[in-house]
Amino acid sequence: MPNRADDCILVIFGASGDLTRRKLLPAIYNLAEAGHLPERFAIVGVARPRIHFDAYRGQMRERVANAEGEPLDLDKWRRIEERLQYVSGEFHDERLYEGLAATLQELGSRHSIPPNYLFYLAVPPDLFATVADRLAASGLAKEHDGWRRVIVEKPFGYDLESARSLNARLIAGFRESQIYRIDHYLGKETVQNILAFRFANGIFEPIWNRRYVDHVQMTVAENEGIGSRGAYYDKAGALRDIVQNHMFQLLTLVAMEPPISFGSEAVRDEKVKVLHAVPPLADDAVAHNVVRGQYEGYRREPNVDPESRTETFVGMRLQVDNWRWAGVPFYLRTGKKLARRDTHVAVHFKRAPFMLFRDTPVECLNPNVLELRIQPDEGISLSFDAKVPGPLERLETVTMDFSYAKHFRQEASTGYETLLFDAMTGDQTLFHRMDMVEAGWEVIAPILRRWAHDTKGRPEGRPLPREAVPEYGAGTMGPPEADLLVERDGRQWRG
Ligand code: BG6
C-alpha cells in the first residue's frame, strides 16, 4: 500500500459549504500532518460566492482550526494554503468550467502537478448530475493525459428510479471505475475493522453463522435532532438517510462471505450478495416488520412541514436468506433525539443448551454477546458468564473489553481521511458500486411503496393519522412499537 497519494489536484464543488469546512479541509490537513498527501498537490474550491481567493483562504484557515479544536500547525497549513485556489460561478454555467480548466492548467504548470484531477461533488444532490454533465461536456472528465475521478456525496438518488437516472447521467461522462460514491461510514476505522476482526482472526469465523448465532442487532442512535437540515431531512427521513446506506453497509460487512482477496471488486462482490439475499418484504409484511416514529417537537423544527409524517426513527427486522444466515433475524434501529449517541452491532449467540450448575435453569443463562462498538467509545467487547467467587454456585455476566482509545491512543479522525486518500490512490473498495446502491434501494423499495400508498390513500389533503407514525419522547430509545418488534420474538434490545 502506498504511503503517499498520487500527485493530483482536488477540486471541491461546494467549497463554501458545511461539509468542506467541517470535514473535507480538516481531513486534508490531517492527511498533511500524517505525511500522506502527495508531494505535488493543490486544491481548487468551487462555489457561488464571489470572493477573492485570499479571503477564502483566511476563512478556511479559521474554520479548519475550529474543526480541529486546537491551533493549527502553521507550517503544515501554509503548505496547503499556498496551493488552495478558489473559483466562483454558477454550477450550471459553462463559463465556470472554462475558468476551472484554465485554473487547473495554470496550477499544474506552476507546481509541476500532472493533470490528475479528483472532483468532489459536495453540492446539494439536485446538482450532482448538472456538475457531472458540465464536467463531461467541457472535456474535463476525459482521461487522455492523466486520471480523472469523481466523488459523489450521498444521497445517491431518492429511490431506485432516481438513483438509476442519476447514474445514467454520470455514466454518460465517466466510467464506473472513475466514479466514487461515498459513504462516510466506511471511512470510520471501527467499520473497516469489522473485516479485519472477522477475517484476520481464526476463532470467530467458524461460529459466525446460523448454527451459533441467535440473532444480530444493529443500532445507529443519535441524541441530536435534525438541526438546520429540515429542508433536506423532511423529504428524506431516517429510512433513506441512514438505513439504505450506512446501516446496509454495516449489515453487508457483518454478514458477507470471506472475499477471495481484499481487491475492491472481490470485496464489493461479496457485499452486494448480502443485499441480494435479503428478501424484499411483501406489501402486507411491511407493517409487521418495520416500525417508524417521529420525535416530539420534530414538526416545529425549521423548514419542516408542520403536518409532516416523516420518520425520524426506523426499527426493522430483516432476514438474510442464504446458507449462512437462514433463520437468523437481523434487527436494525436508528433514530434522532434518542437517549444517547451510540452506534453498535451486537451479535447474540445461542444459549448454552443445558445447565450443569445446580438450581440454575437454562433460561437464566445469559447468552454470549459480541458487541462491535462503532462510536463513540469505539471498541469490541465479549460478554460471558463467570462463576461468582464463593461456595455458592452463582453466575454473573462479565465482559472482556477492547478499547481503541486506550490501546491505540490515536487522534480521532473525521473519517474522510481514508476515503480521500483512497480516491487519490484509485482504490474503490470503500466506495459504493452501482449494483450495491441499486440492491440497497431494492430492499427498501417495498417499504417506501407501502408508506407512500398509506399517504396517498388518504382523502384529499388529509395527512396520515398521527398513530401511523407514532411520536416518541426525546431522550427515549424510540416508540414502544420498536420494542415490540423484538419482544414478539422473545428477545430484547440490548441497551
Ligand atoms: C449522515 C446523515 O449521512 O450521517 C446524518 O445524513 C447523520 O443525518 C450522519 O447525522 C451521522 O454521521 P456520524 O458520522 O456523525 O455518525
Q: For ligand 1, what atom is nearest to the CA of residue 154? A: 3
Q: How many residues does the chain have?
A: 495
Decide: 222 in ligand 1 pocket, CB within 6 A: yes
SS3 state of residue 161: helix
Angle at the Cα of 481 from the Cα atoms of 476 and 484, rounded to 5 degrees: 110
- Give the contacts of 390 (CB within 8 A, at least 6 positions apart): none
- Give the contacts of 244 (CB within 8 A, at least 6 positions apart): 155, 440, 441, 443, 444
**Sheet of 8-13: strands edge to edge?**
84-88, 41-47, 8-13, 117-121, 148-152, 179-181
* Among protein residues, the one whose CA lies closest to atom 9 of ligand 1: 242
Whole-angstrom distance, CA of residue 219 vs CA of residue 225: 16
Q: Is the dihedral of CA 17, 19, 24, 30 positive or negative?
A: positive
Q: What is the pLDDT of residue 253?
A: 97
Residue 494 has pLDDT above 60, yes or no: yes
Measured in Å, residue 30 CA sits from the centre of ligand 1 at 20
Q: In this structure, what DSSP letter does residue 432 have? A: B
Residue 466 has pLDDT above 80, yes or no: no
Residue 412 has pLDDT above 70, yes or no: no
pTM (2 d.p.)? 0.92
> Over the stretch 287-341, which tens digit does the pLDDT of each residue have?
999 999 999 999 999 999 999 999 999 999 999 999 999 999 999 999 999 999 9
Measured in Å, residue 32 CA sits from the centre of ligand 1 at 25
Phi, psi of 162 (to 5 degrees): -70, -30
Q: For ligand 1, what atom is nearest to the CA of residue 236? A: 6
**Alpha helices in 350-428, H assignment, sequence order:** 404-408, 416-425
Q: For ligand 1, what atom is nearest to the CA of residue 415? A: 14
Decide: 183 in ligand 1 pocket, CB within 6 A: no
Active-site amino acid positions: 246
Share of the chain above pLDDT 70, in %: 95
Measured in Å, residue 185 CA sits from the centre of ligand 1 at 8
Q: For ligand 1, what atom is nearest to the CA of residue 375? A: 16
Residue 217 has pLDDT above 80, yes or no: yes
* Among protein residues, the one whose CA lies closest to atom 12 of ligand 1: 185
Phi, psi of 314 (to 5 degrees): -135, 135
Measured in Å, residue 427 CA sits from the centre of ligand 1 at 23
Q: What is the mean pLDDT of residues 418-432?
A: 96
Q: Residue 62: pLDDT band by 50, 70, 90 thresholds?
A: confident
Measured in Å, residue 220 CA sits from the centre of ligand 1 at 9
Q: For ligand 1, what atom is nearest to the CA of residue 341? A: 16
Whole-angstrom distance, CA of residue 164 vs CA of residue 170: 10
Decide: 241 in ligand 1 pocket, CB within 6 A: yes
> Which of these ranges, 33-37, 75-79, 413-417, 452-456, has the smallest mean pLDDT?
452-456
* Among protein residues, the one whose CA lies closest to atom 4 of ligand 1: 242
> Over the stretch 5-19, which tens digit does the pLDDT of each residue have?
899 999 999 999 889
- Give the contacts of 487 (CB within 8 A, at least 6 positions apart): none
* Among protein residues, the one whose CA lies closest to atom 2 of ligand 1: 241
SS3 state of residue 148: strand
Measured in Å, residue 183 CA sits from the centre of ligand 1 at 10
Whole-angstrom distance, CA of residue 84 vs CA of residue 107: 10
- Give the contacts of 10 (CB within 8 A, at least 6 positions apart): 28, 41, 42, 43, 44, 118, 120, 420, 424
Q: 237 or 411, which is more confident?
A: 237
Pocket test for ligand 1, best of 152, 154, 183, 222 (most atoms within 8 A of CB): 222
Decide: 378 in ligand 1 pocket, CB within 6 A: no
What does the CA dihedral 223, 229, 235, 239 come to, rounded to 10 degrees?
A: -30
